[in-house]
Amino acid sequence: MSAGFLEVVAPGLMTSVQDLGRFGAQALGMPVAGATDPLALRLANAVLGNPAGMAALEIGYLGPALVAAADGVRVVLGGKAKLTVQPADGGEARSAKPWRSLLLRRGDKLTIGTVEDGAIAYLAVAGGFAIQPFMGSLSTYMRSGLGGFEGRALKAGDRLPLNMAAADGDEREAVDGIDYGGGPIRVVLGPQEDRFTPKGIETFLAATYAVTKEADRMGIRLEGEVIEHVRGADIASEGVVTGSIQVPGNGQPIILMADRQTTGGYTKIATVISADLPRIGRMKPGDMLQFAAVTVAEAEAARRAQEQALRRLIEGIRTALPDVYLDLNALYTQNLISGAVDAPSGY
């Protein structure tokens, strides 16, 4: 029996239940799915003391409005968006901060606005959702209606069952957000590098591409200069991975994402390194990007550095300070002048 639930008053633009993915089933044709930005999901869970891969709500572009139907629901928004809490007693609405845990009492309404630092954010809940896993995961694979909450994005009237009846404790916060870096998206060339002309490879690494409006959780379709093939775009279907960059016959690259198919029959010019996949997952239509080739060793080093940076952020999580806070120690030691001051004569 559920300990309570979150009721969906408004679903947002695209809100679904996602964890770190469904692994071990690709041989059966089942995609991994899961969070398109696992860094934000992991950090949001860490603020609440949840396991790193606990399922949360992945919010696309515009957030939902939710009402707490439990004695205490502690949540945190991993990402940047306006947060407003309307108390159940009808009192004055108050704003809340991202990357900081927030306790909702029974009847409180949380409204999440437009995501401001990319396409997605995550709402993690202390204790997680009381939803039956599908093939070992709570990730939603919407194209097949599997997993998550009824295999689909949320809609008004949904009731998301909770594992924890009355979350409490101190508010905690991640002092710093995630640094996703900048510059070109790093890739390792291949596996079908030889199916492109030298000019095609040069174009791929020199051109600027735009994210199109067709971008979704399955793939980020790009638009820009045409990439030339050798002997056409089709190959015998073979396995693909998250980050594979297919180039179909029109010469426009497609970056395969979390809900990608498990096999594909288009030539793959390169693969996005795992450390840059969260950046790709956050991109929205109209964003511009370029590619830069790196070695496998450089890709591995980048991933290790990213994991170390995330670990430092998690280790830096602290009990949140009150919104109005006077640091007396800093005042006494830095802001006051000690000793006596002689007033000039005549005053």
In tens digits, what is the pLDDT along the chain, a chain of 347 residues? Answer: 457 999 999 999 999 999 999 998 888 889 999 999 999 999 999 999 999 999 999 999 999 999 999 999 999 999 999 999 999 988 899 999 999 999 999 999 999 999 998 999 999 999 999 999 999 999 999 999 999 999 999 999 999 999 988 887 778 999 788 999 899 999 999 999 999 999 999 999 999 999 999 999 999 999 999 999 999 999 999 999 999 999 999 999 999 999 999 999 999 999 999 999 999 999 999 999 999 999 999 999 999 999 999 999 999 999 987 765 455 555 566 555 554 445 454 44
- Taking the CA of residue 323 as centre, how many other CA atoms within 13 Å lie in the half-sphere pointing to its CB? 7
| Domain hosting residue 94, numbered range | 5-173
243 and 94 co-located in one domain: no
User: Apex CA 21: angle with CA 19 and CA 24, to 5°?
Assistant: 145
User: Could you tell me if 160 and 225 lie in one domain?
Assistant: no
42: nearest Cα among 97, 99, 111: 99
Does residue 112 lie within any of the structural domains? Answer: yes
Examine the domain organization and report whether 273 and 166 are in the same domain.
no
What are residue 159's DSSP bridge partners?
Answer: 7
The structure's pTM equals: 0.90
Whether residue 145 sits in one domain with residue 26:
yes
**Residue 4, both tokens:** 């309570």
Q: Which amino acid is located at 282 in the chain? A: R
The length of the chain in residues reads 347
Alpha-carbon distance of 88 to 91, in angstroms, equals 7
Q: Find the helix or strand (DSSP H, E) in which 201 lies.
A: helix 198-206
Instruction: State the total domains in the chain.
Output: 2
How many angstroms separate the CA atoms of 43 and 112, rounded?
Answer: 18
What letter represents residue 56's amino acid? A
Q: Is residue 198 part of a domain?
A: yes
